[in-house]
Amino acid sequence: MNQLSAARNGILNILDTTGLAVLATENAGQPHTSLIAVTSFAAGRQLIFATYRSTCKYRNLLQNRRVSVLINGCPVPGAGAGQDGYVVTAVGKVQDIAGSALAAMRAAHLQKHPDLATFLQSADCVLLGVAVESYQVVRGIDDVSWWQIDDLCPA
């Protein structure tokens, strides 16, 4: 398996098996991070999450839609040996989800995160998508690679 295929498979595996991520936003030079439930779409080209409109993260996104999303793929201590761990960071721009895509994406997000049913039905809740531009894959202190989305997932 070549390096590109290995990166693609590793990224997609983390996105399929990990439900939580850390979203990094910024406003007026002040960074802010938030734990989010995330669902992947279109072979990793888009990451979906929900938030309340009343949150700091949402206010930050109104000012600056550029974000990074860190997804931890490292094995949990005590969960068993034999799996390589790594961390993936997606870099992109947040987009509103509306129209015909909204119902399907909300249903898929709810299927992956059934405990969010009440949250997703709230009038203050909004579903957002990160249009991923690139991924950083970190397998160790000296093993870091960057991948452009068009190289990983040709249209």
The tens digit of pLDDT for each residue in 29-77 reads 999 999 999 999 988 899 999 999 999 999 999 999 999 999 987 664 5
The alpha carbon dihedral of 91, 11, 18, 123 has a sign of positive
Longest dimension (CA), the chain: 47
Domain residue extents for the chain: 3-152
Residue (of 146, 4, 14) closest to 84 by Cα position: 14
Q: What pLDDT is attached to residue 148?
A: 86
- pLDDT average, residue stretch 98-121: 91
What is the CATH code of the structural domain delimited by 3-152?
A: 2.30.110.10
Highest mean pLDDT among 28-32, 40-44, 77-81, 140-144 belongs to: 28-32
pLDDT at 116 exceeding the cut of 80: yes
Stronger pLDDT, 1 or 13, i.e. the higher one? 13
Q: What pLDDT is attached to residue 84?
A: 60
The alpha carbon dihedral of 53, 55, 57, 59 has a sign of positive
pLDDT at 3 exceeding the cut of 90: no
Residue (of 102, 90, 83) closest to 45 by Cα position: 90
Query: Percent of the chain at pLDDT above 90?
Result: 57
Residue (of 107, 98, 36, 100) closest to 68 by Cα position: 36
Alpha-carbon distances, residue 46 vs 23, 28, 55, 96 (angstroms): 14, 26, 22, 12
